Structure 1
Amino acid sequence: MSFNRHGASVEEMAKEVNKTREQLETADKALKLAQLNKVLKASLITRLGKWQEFRRHIALRCKLVFAFHLSQRGYYGKVLFNHDARTLMLRVRRLLYGEIWGTDGAGERRSALVGGGEKSFSTICLLSLWESIGCPLRCLDEFDVFMDAVNRRISMKMMIDTANSSDKKQYILITPQDMTNIHLGPTVRVLRMSDPERGNGVLPFGSAAASLR
């Protein structure tokens, strides 16, 4: 066995070199991971900031579109977003003879005291959230059930105008109401389902199931 001038063998020196090399590689990996972690944290903070800014823009756009649609019917309203609590609240006021009219001192009508047509119209206006959604297919069922003729006409025109101004989006509106007195325009296709047969109290599922046995 050979020794160097310090009294250590070649084998011992080789082991020490390998051990030191492994420690160096481990420290280098830890340093790179720490740097990567720092970069990822900075990137996450940046993305969260941009996402919050994007969310604010979406909320602002929804508020503006909601207020615009309500103004078409003589209402004033706003959408209150609470992003921390993940809630959304509507406040609607009705303008009557130039004054704010309502059931409480502030002129705001409680939801329980608002008529069905007014609540339905407010719901239609809330569809301003659609402007924030990239889905190309949008469906709405029985949106005008509690509306009177005036609200139904205004709501239908508003939704048709919105659909016509939307790019590459398909709107499907399902309603049990008669649309003969409403001008739909050339861009709307009406598919009317046949009336259900009356007097059939029992569906023929039992006989069909029995025949399959």
Structure 2
Amino acid sequence: MASACDEPLYALAKRTLDLVCAAVLLVALLPVFALVGLAIVLESRGPVFYCAERIGRFGRPFCVAKFRSMRADADPEAHAAFIGSLLREEARCAVYKVPDDPRITRVGAFLRRTSLDELPQLWNVLRGEMSLVGPRPDVPYAVAQYPDWVGPRLVVKPGITGLWQVSGRSTLSLLDMYRLDVRYVQTASLLGDLRILVRTVPAVLSRTGAA
């Protein structure tokens, strides 16, 4: 699929933006990291950070970093079954969220509402596994069930934020999210990325469909 994503100048500008912003934000947010880490360890046993397998560009698996928002012994099977129901359109609710999930801690619920749980992904951006803007990094068992038309979302790096996050977010279905991701790939531009970044802040602060 031909798009600006294939243009060397766009790729260079996007990578430069990623590196500069991720480095600055990681340093500036160190106090936030410390406070969040303290809150996590005070509430429940287990590590501060959670490493989850996700599928990146061209279908390559990588480990995405997050603040732990669930109990350390959480079973992923319920989530895998739930994703299957979303892909079959048997369920329509907040993307990736099992309703009233008992695995989520109280601190974790707050982190998810405010998207603070995703701040460690700035490290993935520095490593080149993710971008600031792009499709949401997907779980392997969802990618294995992709309809053919969803495939193009894997030709770009996944992002911390994206078109879906500023277009209704969890008020949309999983397939709606995929449609927006494919549209992003088809119309990607540096100006479009900047617009998404600017729109992300009010979207998070207003908790519009917070995931």
TM-score by length of 2: 0.26
Higher relative contact order (Cα pairs below 8 Å, separated by 6+ residues)? 2
TM-score by length of 1: 0.25
Judging by fraction of residues, say which structure has more helix: 2
